[in-house]
C-alpha cells in the first residue's frame, strides 16, 4: 500500500487521461480554475485505449503505475479525466491500495440519474456506454437509457476538427432532436473529449429550441476536488 508520507502538496492534482488529448483537456480545465496539476496518459490514441479496455487487469496495472509516478511527483489526489478508462479499471482496488482521493467522471452520474427516467448517453465506445448504463441503473432502476457511441467522433476531435465541424459532420443536432422526440430530456456526455463541443452544442440546441439538457461531469468533479482540498487544510 502506498504510504501517505509521500504526499507533498495537498493542492497538486495528478491528471490521468486515456490519451494525451484527455490529459491536455483535464490540465486546461483545472488550470483555468487555478488548480495546479501535472499529467500523464495511458495510450497514444483512442483506438489503442479502446483495445486496452478489454483487459481490466492490464489497464488497472497501467493506471497503478501512472499513479505511483504522479504521487512521487508530489500529487495528493488523482483526477482520472476519461470515462472509458474510469469504467474499465478496478477503482475499488486502486482506492484501497493508495488510500488517496481518486476523482472520476463516473461518480457524477448518480447525482442526476434520479432526476430523469429517460436518459440519453453519448460515449466513446460501447464498452464505456455499457458501464455508464450499469451505473445509472444502480441508482435509478426505472431509467430507460438511449445510448450512442462513436470512436470516430473522438478521433475527429483529436485530429483538430472544430466543435462546429464535429456537430455538423456527425449530425448531433439530429441526434438530439431524435432523443427529444423519444421523451429524453437529459443527455450525458459520457466522454471527456465531448466537453470540447459542449458550449457549441448547447448554443445550437437553444437556437433550434430542442429541449435537451447536456450534462458534462467536469464541473461536479471540480467541486469534489475543491471540497477535498478545503478539508485537507482543516
Of the candidates 192, 65, 175, 76, the residue with the CA atom closest to the CA atom of residue 120: 175
Range of 57's domain? 4-104+219-232
pLDDT of residue 231: 77
pLDDT of residue 234: 54
Task: Give me 6's grid cell.
Answer: 509521500
Output the furthest CA–CA distance in the chain (Å, rounded).
55
Tell me: do 174 and 205 sit in the same domain: yes
Tell me: do 201 and 228 sit in the same domain: no
**Which H or E run includes 119?**
strand 118-123
* Integer Cα distance of 157 and 175 in angstroms: 18
Tell me: do 158 and 205 sit in the same domain: yes
Task: Give me 137's grid cell.
Answer: 441503473
CB 143 within 8 A of CB 136: yes
Along the 234 residues of the chain, how does pLDDT read in single tens digits? 444 434 455 689 999 999 999 999 999 999 999 999 999 999 999 999 999 999 999 999 999 999 999 999 999 999 999 999 999 999 999 999 998 899 999 999 988 998 999 999 999 999 999 999 999 999 999 999 999 999 999 999 999 999 999 999 999 999 999 999 999 999 999 999 999 999 999 999 999 999 999 999 998 899 989 888 877 765
**Which H or E run includes 122?**
strand 118-123
CATH number at residue 180: 3.40.50.1860
Of the candidates 10, 62, 61, the residue with the CA atom closest to the CA atom of residue 37: 10
Tell me: do 92 and 154 sit in the same domain: no
Of the candidates 10, 90, 93, the residue with the CA atom closest to the CA atom of residue 55: 90
Give pLDDT tens digits for 3-27: 443 445 568 999 999 999 999 999 9
Of the candidates 154, 208, 171, the residue with the CA atom closest to the CA atom of residue 17: 154
Tell me: do 209 and 170 sit in the same domain: yes
* Integer Cα distance of 43 and 62 in angstroms: 10
Tell me: do 194 and 124 sit in the same domain: yes
Tell me: do 100 and 175 sit in the same domain: no
Tell me: do 183 and 125 sit in the same domain: yes
Tell me: do 153 and 211 sit in the same domain: yes
Tell me: do 126 and 100 sit in the same domain: no
Tell me: do 225 and 208 sit in the same domain: no
Domain count of the fold of the chain: 2
Tell me: do 117 and 210 sit in the same domain: yes
Task: Give me 81's grid cell.
Answer: 479525466
Of the candidates 90, 108, 94, the residue with the CA atom closest to the CA atom of residue 195: 108
Task: Give me 168's grid cell.
Answer: 455538423
Amino acid at each position: 500500500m502506498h504510504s501517505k508520507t509521500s504526499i507533498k502538496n495537498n493542492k497538486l492534482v495528478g491528471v490521468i487521461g486515456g490519451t494525451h488529448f484527455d490529459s491536455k483537456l483535464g490540465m486546461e480545465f483545472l488550470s483555468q480554475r487555478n488548480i495546479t496539476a501535472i499529467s500523464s496518459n495511458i495510450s497514444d490514441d483512442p483506438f489503442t485505449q479502446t483495445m486496452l479496455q478489454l483487459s481490466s487487469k492490464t489497464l488497472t496495472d497501467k493506471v497503478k503505475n501512472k499513479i505511483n509516478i504522479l504521487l512521487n511527483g508530489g500529487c495528493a489526489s488523482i483526477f482520472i479525466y476519461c470515462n472509458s478508462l474510469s469504467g474499465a479499471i478496478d477503482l475499488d482496488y486502486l482506492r484501497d491500495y493508495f488510500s488517496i482521493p481518486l476523482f472520476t467522471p463516473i461518480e457524477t452520474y448518480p447525482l442526476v440519474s434520479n432526476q430523469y427516467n429517460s436518459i440519453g448517453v453519448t460515449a466513446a465506445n460501447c464498452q464505456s456506454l455499457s458501464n455508464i448504463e450499469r451505473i445509472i441503473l444502480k441508482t435509478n432502476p426505472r431509467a430507460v437509457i438511449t445510448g450512442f457511441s462513436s470512436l470516430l467522433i473522438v478521433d475527429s476531435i483529436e485530429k483538430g476538427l472544430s466543435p462546429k465541424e464535429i456537430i455538423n459532420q456527425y449530425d448531433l443536432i439530429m441526434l438530439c432532436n431524435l432523443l427529444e422526440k423519444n421523451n429524453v430530456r437529459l443527455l450525458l456526455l459520457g466522454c471527456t473529449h465531448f466537453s470540447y463541443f459542449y458550449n457549441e452544442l448547447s448554443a445550437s440546441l437553444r437556437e433550434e429550441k430542442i429541449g435537451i439538457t447536456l450534462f458534462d461531469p467536469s464541473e461536479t468533479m471540480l467541486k469534489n476536488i475543491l471540497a477535498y482540498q478545503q478539508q485537507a487544510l482543516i
